[in-house]
Amino acid sequence: MPGFGDSKSALWIVGLAPAAHGANRTGRVFTGDSSGNWLFRAMHQTGFANQEQSVSLNDGLALRNAYVSAAARCAPPDNKPTLEEISNCSSYLDEEWNKFPNPPLILALGSIAFQSVLRLLERQGVRLGNPRPKFGHHRFFQWAGARVLTSYHPSRQNTQTGRLTEKMWLQVFEQARSLLQPS
């Protein structure tokens, strides 16, 4: 499942993987499932999307200064990609990174996406320092040539248990908007 949006965007959202009953059915990552509902509602509220919902390729969704993709490109069993699957898909992230004219602010959704982003940055020559950065919700990391913001993934497991609330989620997108404003 390919990413979508404008590769000249300043914000690159990297999620986990296409959902078997969402993106595989609709043809676009983060569409047709509850995670996508959370994503596009927040993107709309913060000006990154023209509408709150996406259910198919032809539903009129337009992203504004944002690009959306995933660490794994096919729906993994039990929504848990193996390290081998993540490794096999890493070239897709490399290709997307190379399309951006300037390094974008990367929003990594979940620990697996964050680890994939860190490996991508290392392949691109970004020095992450020691100790290696640790994932946590609503953290911001900056190195020469890269900026990464993190959030829990908007999976049902996180949203229905209250681990990720609408307020927490929206704060991440508001921070992304703020980080992209010219100083």
Instruction: Please tell me the predicted confidence (pLDDT) of residue 21.
Output: 65
Q: Identify the CA nearest to 170 among candidates 181, 178, 180.
A: 178
- The CA radius of gyration of the chain, in Å to the nearest whole number, is 15
Please state the domain extents for the chain. Answer: 4-180
**pLDDT, tens digit (0-9, with 9 covering 90-100), for 91-147:** 999 999 999 999 999 999 999 999 999 999 999 999 998 889 999 999 999 999 899
- Residue 183: pLDDT over 60: no
> Can you point out the beta strands (E) in 129-174?
140-143, 146-151
Domain 4-180, CATH 3.30.450.40 — does that match? no
Measured between alpha carbons, how far is 181 from 144 in angstroms, rounded to an integer? 19
Measured between alpha carbons, how far is 99 from 6 in angstroms, rounded to an integer? 10
**pLDDT, tens digit (0-9, with 9 covering 90-100), for 6-36:** 889 999 999 987 776 667 677 788 877 788 8
> Can you point out the beta strands (E) in the chain?
4-5, 11-15, 66-70, 105-109, 140-143, 146-151
Report percent pLDDT > 90 for the chain: 65
